Chains A and B, each alone.
Chain A
Amino acid sequence: MNLVEKILARASGRARVTPGEVVVADVDRILLHDLSCYLTARVFEQEVRQPVRHPERVVVVFDHHFSPPTEEQARMLQENRAWARRYGFRLFDCGSGNLHHVALHAGLVRPGMVVVGSDSHTPVHGTLGCFATGLGNYSHAALGLPFGKAWFRVPELVRIELEGSTGPGVTPRDVALFLTGEIGEGGMVYRALEFAGPYLEGLEVFDRWLFPLITVDVGAKSGHVLPDERTLRFLAELTDDRPEAVGGDGDDVAEVRGWEVSGLEPQVACPPTVGNVRPVGEVAGTPIQWAELGGHGGGRLQDFRLAAQVLRGRRVHPEVRFNLVPSSRWAFAQALREGLVEELHRAGATWFPPSTGSNQAINMGALAEDETMVSTHARNFPGRNGVGRMYLASALTVAASAVCGRLADPREFVG
């Protein structure tokens, strides 16, 4: 069996499972953010109203709000808070950071787990060798909370092998964007993805993170990296217990697809969809008014280090507002220790509280009609941040664009 089959077999109490069959499995973690918590609570309280079987498995992180901008939103958070406390869910309040980064840093995600959530980027936890996927609020309300379970159709696995190495100014985010464009939105519907190959194996955990993150964009159910020494080292730094990593047996894959990443240019996902990915050269020169490091895939310590490479000795363009949104308090503290907070502040960028930043413009990041933002965010669909235009890119490209006031090729600044 492959990794996904092994995890689902264990969680559903079966000796083996095969693609296509439907299983009801135990879930080890249910991750909810402030919006999905609110919607799940409504369904649960109005239509289910049963005791919660395993409250310790439920984690709530307020990440779309670092602070409520309206009374209505303040009430929503208050209801969430009361609901989480009533059942004894683990709650991380405003200012904690992005849901997925917080869960990871708090040591709440371990290899081999079944991790579910309403956030569609929940598959990102496959980075540690979990089976992680996004479900709707009704799944949580009907099966997750009362029984600690969820139903799954066992997916076929596709292995994605990445080879080669990228040049200066080209980052793992560029490779992940490139892959999204190559596979296409909906190119892997219902499948599970295994990211592998020498390029991927050579990356540290928070760079590998950017690959399972694209799972939802290509329509797949889950995406993972087989746990290895780097994974275990990373986890050992977070908590004391030695996790047991589950692997796969190697050959139970429906398809293997490979890409060579050498020679790749920096990539940009252009409006109106995540799959509209082009080399930066094709869109360089487009004026921007907003730049942001933040979101599910951004706001990592690595992103601030990359931005500092570009901004060292330079300043943010006077026509641009450059938002820096740490993905966790840990990332901010580390940036502080490394001197990045002051360095980027002096270069003209603005620090925001740890959160999911401008994702859906819940409390920051709304765009006027003729405004354009370039960011490390995961989504650029019209309507999420108002009617403005959103480009998605690496931290290097975002920082280079913030300096130039228009989309820019970061290779002019680094290497």
Chain B
Amino acid sequence: MKRRIRGRCWLVGDNVPTDAIVRSHLITRPMEEIRRHVLEGVNPRFPREVQPDDLLVAGRHFGQSSGRAIAVRALKATGVGCVLAESFARTFYRNAFEMGLPILECPGIGGLVSEGDVLVVDLETGIVVDETTGARAQATPIPPFLRRMLEAGGIIPIAKQLAEGTDR
């Protein structure tokens, strides 16, 4: 797991549903195709111009609606390095850690940064720095249980330890 992620930021608003991350009719298509349509109805430039390690900054309750993990998988496939949001829908939150996509809850982040700013996120301390404006924010640090999952690259590598209670 990379501790520090640096990239340009993309903005989306509150309550973005997983249906808007990956539209329903695409879920059985190859990821190469899905990737090119991620969030297109919300921020049309995003799927066309997103670069590896870019950051997605969202408002409240990001990833609501269906708990389809393919929404996380598709975001990962775009190369996004981290998602920051005021808050996440709980299934999206679980899915992200289970699939090894770093995400951070960061109150106030929406009003602090503008699209295209370069952000640096420290996953260990939760400190977010906007290099374009100098603004700083403190995200809620990732709980230890989920940090372990993220470091392992997802839930599959640690499933046996979890099930047998040998993880602690």
Report if A and B associate in a common complex.
yes
Q: Which 9 A-B pairs have the closest CB atoms?
A: A186-B61, A147-B163, A136-B95, A138-B98, A136-B69, A142-B159, A360-B24, A142-B155, A137-B69
Q: What's the least CB distance linking A53 to chain B, in Å?
A: 9
Q: Which residue of B lies closest to A24 (CB)?
A: B162
| Chain B: minimal CB distance from A17 (Å) | 14
Q: Bits for A360-392, please: 1 = Cβ < 8 Å to B, else 0.
A: 111000000000000000010111100000000
Q: Is the CB–CB distance between B98 and A186 below 8 Å?
A: no
Q: Which residues of A in the span 34-88 have a Cβ within 8 Å of any Cβ on B?
A: 35-36, 38-39, 43, 47-48, 72-73, 76
Mask for B58-89, Cβ within 8 A of A = 1, else 0? Answer: 00110011111110100000000000000111
Cβ distance B135 to chain A, nearest Cβ, rounded Å: 25
Contacts of A39 in B (CB 8 A): 27, 68-70
Secondary structure class of chain A's binding surface, majority of residues? mixed
Q: CA A62 – CA B160 in complex, angstroms?
A: 30
| Contact pick for B156, options A141, A190, A216, A362, CB 8 Å | A141
- Does the CB pair A361–B28 fall under 8 Å? no
- Chain B residues whose C-beta falls within 8 Å of the C-beta of A138 in the assembled complex: 69, 95, 98-99, 154-156
Closest partner residue, chain B, to A73 (CB atom): B28
Give residues of chain B (40-61) contacting chain A, Cβ–Cβ below 8 Å: 41, 60-61
Residues of A within 8 A of B91 (CB): 120, 134-136, 216
Q: How far is the CA of A384 from the CA of B23 in the complex (A)?
A: 7
Tell me whether A151 and B162 are in contact in the complex, defined as CB-CB below 8 angstroms, given that A219-B89, A379-B65 are known contacts: yes
Task: Report the Cα distance A380→B11, complex, angstroms.
Answer: 23
Partner of A382, one of B20, B90, B165: B20
Alpha-carbon separation in the docked complex, A143 to B91 (Å): 16
Which B residues touch A217, using CB under 8 A? 64
Determine if B156 and A185 form an interchain contact, defined as CB atoms under 8 angstroms apart. Answer: no
Which of A43, A76, A142, A383 contacts B41, CB < 8 Å?
A383
Q: Could you pull out 26 A-B pairs where Cβ atoms are within 8 angstroms?
A: A36-B68, A43-B69, A47-B156, A120-B66, A135-B91, A136-B72, A136-B95, A137-B70, A138-B95, A138-B155, A138-B156, A139-B94, A146-B159, A146-B163, A147-B160, A186-B14, A186-B64, A217-B64, A221-B90, A273-B15, A360-B24, A361-B24, A381-B19, A381-B65, A382-B19, A382-B20
Q: Which residues of A contact B143 (CB under 8 A)?
A: 22
> CA A372 – CA B28 in complex, angstroms?
27
Residues from chain B with a CB closer than 8 A to the CB of A120 are 65-67, 91
What is the minimal beta-carbon distance from A2 to any residue of chain B, in angstroms? Answer: 18
| In the complex, A149 has a CB within 8 A of chain B | yes
Contact between chains at B163 and A24 (CB < 8 Å): yes
CB-based nearest A residue for B16: A381
Does A180 have its Cβ within 8 Å of any Cβ on chain B? no
Could you say which residues of chain A place their CB within 8 Å of the CB of B24? 360-362, 383-384
A190 vs B159: C-alpha distance in the bound complex, in angstroms? 22
In whole Å, how far is B97's beta carbon from the nearest beta carbon of chain A?
9
Q: Specify the chain B residue showing the minimal Cβ separation from A117.
A: B67
Q: Which of B67, B90, B162 contacts A149 (CB 8 A)?
A: B162
Whether the Cβ atoms of B67 and A136 lie closer than 8 Å is yes
Chain B residues with CB under 8 A of A36: 68
Contact A135 B155 (CB under 8 A): no
Minimum distance in angstroms from A268 CB to a CB of chain B: 18
Q: Give the residues in chain B near A139, CB-CB below 8 Å.
A: 94, 98, 155
A379 to B24, CA, bound (A): 13
- The reply to whether B163 and A219 form a contact with Cβ atoms under 8 Å apart is no
Across the interface, do B68 and A136 meet the contact criterion of CB distance under 8 Å? yes
**B67 A135 Cβ-Cβ under 8 A:** yes
In chain A between 292 and 326, which residues have their CB closer than 8 angstroms to a CB of chain B? Answer: none
Residue of A nearest to B159 (CB): A142
Point out the residues of chain A lying under 8 angstroms from B89, CB to CB. Answer: 186, 189, 219
Q: When each residue 121-153 of chain B gets 1 if its CB lies under 8 Å from chain A and 0 otherwise, what string results? A: 000000000000000000000010100000000
CB of A118 closer than 8 Å to a CB of B: yes
Contact residues of A between 107 and 144, Cβ < 8 Å to B: 118-120, 134-139, 141-143
Partner of B19 from A72, A147, A186, A383 at Cβ < 8 Å: A383
Partner of A189, one of B65, B70, B90: B90
B102 on interface, CB distance cutoff 8 Å: no
Q: Assess whether B110 is interfacial by the CB under 8 Å rule.
A: no
The CA-CA distance from A48 to B158 in the complex, in Å, is 12
**B15 contact from A118, A119, A186, A190, Cβ within 8 A:** A186
> How far apart are A227's CB and chain B's nearest CB, in angstroms?
25
Residue of B19, B23, B91, B95 contacting most chain A CB atoms (<10 Å) = B91
Tell me the smallest distance from the CB of A212 to a CB of chain B, in Å: 15
Contact (Cβ within 8 A) A382 B41: yes
137-168 of chain A: CB within 8 A of chain B = 137-139, 141-143, 146-147, 149, 151
